[in-house]
Amino acid sequence: MFPIPSHPRFFNAIVMVLVLALGSLISLKPVAVTAADPAYKHGPDSLRNANHPRGTVTEHVLSDSKVFPGTKRRYSLYVPAQYTPKTPAALMVFQDGHTFVGERGDFRVPVVFDNLIAKGVIPVTIAVMIDPGHKGELPDKRGWKPTPTNRSVEYDTVSGDYAQFLLTEVLPPIEAKFRITNNPNLRAICGNSSGGICAFSVAWHRPDSFRKVLSHIGSFVDLRGGHNYPPMIRKTEKKPIRVLLQDGENDLDNRFGNWPLANRQMGKALSFHDYDYKLVFGQGGHNGKHAGTIFPDSLQWLWRDWEQQSP
């Protein structure tokens, strides 16, 4: 046998080798570390300003649908204080409406709209905040209890069905009571996650009716074919739509796809055809924390030059 040197450095080296070898046996895969969302904070445009007129919010139920048979849903309607039937109002539709209507949530549509309309940086805009469809009775509480059974069918499907649903079933009774513009440049649509890809689908399939898109953490992945949008955009003649995409570096990565990569692919495809678009990345995950704090800025970018558009 060879003699084992007794020098301390040699002994320490052996210990280090054994520790590394043992560690490789215990853990063959690196441990995934999920970064916590940064402490995003709302700015003044997301806070109630007593000097700005307050719009009204009313709740409604759509009890059936021909496009999505057997479904019921709630929606909230925001009408700004400055609305007058003498001038057609602009329009903005929000998927997963319960996420947007609260004054203490991430987005706070009534508060933000009151502030931005009063400042004149967005037009006088009626907002329709609509939930996805439930089959059977509606739950007592708005939102996800129980989870809307028809949400993925309505939002993730790459088709013009949801646009048809809005244009033929949701908007006509509202337009019967309020004067809303038919100018597609003054009609916007917004959503989060599957609601984000839904917003894009509406404008993509019906740019004659909606030309402004705000997508937060959009699910442009292979849920129901959404991963096909980037090549479709590249291969299709440019459409007259304006798009803002928001996502977070720590968004989802699962068997359906990688959300940050998918949104970057969307941005590259829109850039290829020189679309009027913006891609905004934060550090957060699959939630509305980052999107909510930049929501007033996103709206101002989306609605910029609105005064140059006739109602």
Domains, the chain:
46-306 (3.40.50.1820)
Residue labelled with tokens 């009890």:
63
Is residue 249 scored above 70 in pLDDT? yes
Find the farthest-apart pair of alpha carbons in the chain and give their distance in angstroms, rounded.
Answer: 102
- pLDDT score recorded for residue 131: 96
> Over pLDDT 90: what percentage of the chain?
82
CA distance 121 to 76: 23
Local confidence band at 1 (pLDDT 50, 70, 90 cut-offs): very low
Instruction: Return the sign of the alpha-carbon dihedral for residues 22, 23, 27, 29.
Output: negative
Is residue 80 scored above 80 in pLDDT? yes
Segment among 71-85, 143-157, 245-259, 285-299 with least mean pLDDT? 143-157
Q: Report the pLDDT averaged over residues 292-311.
A: 93
Instruction: Return the sign of the alpha-carbon dihedral for residues 123, 126, 129, 132.
Output: negative
- pLDDT score recorded for residue 303: 98
pTM, whole model, 2 decimals? 0.88
Which residues make beta-bridge pairs with 199? none
Q: Report the pLDDT averaged over residues 200-219.
A: 98
In 3D space, the residue among 157, 148, 150 whose CA is nearest the CA of residue 224 turns out to be 157
Is residue 5 scored above 50 in pLDDT? no
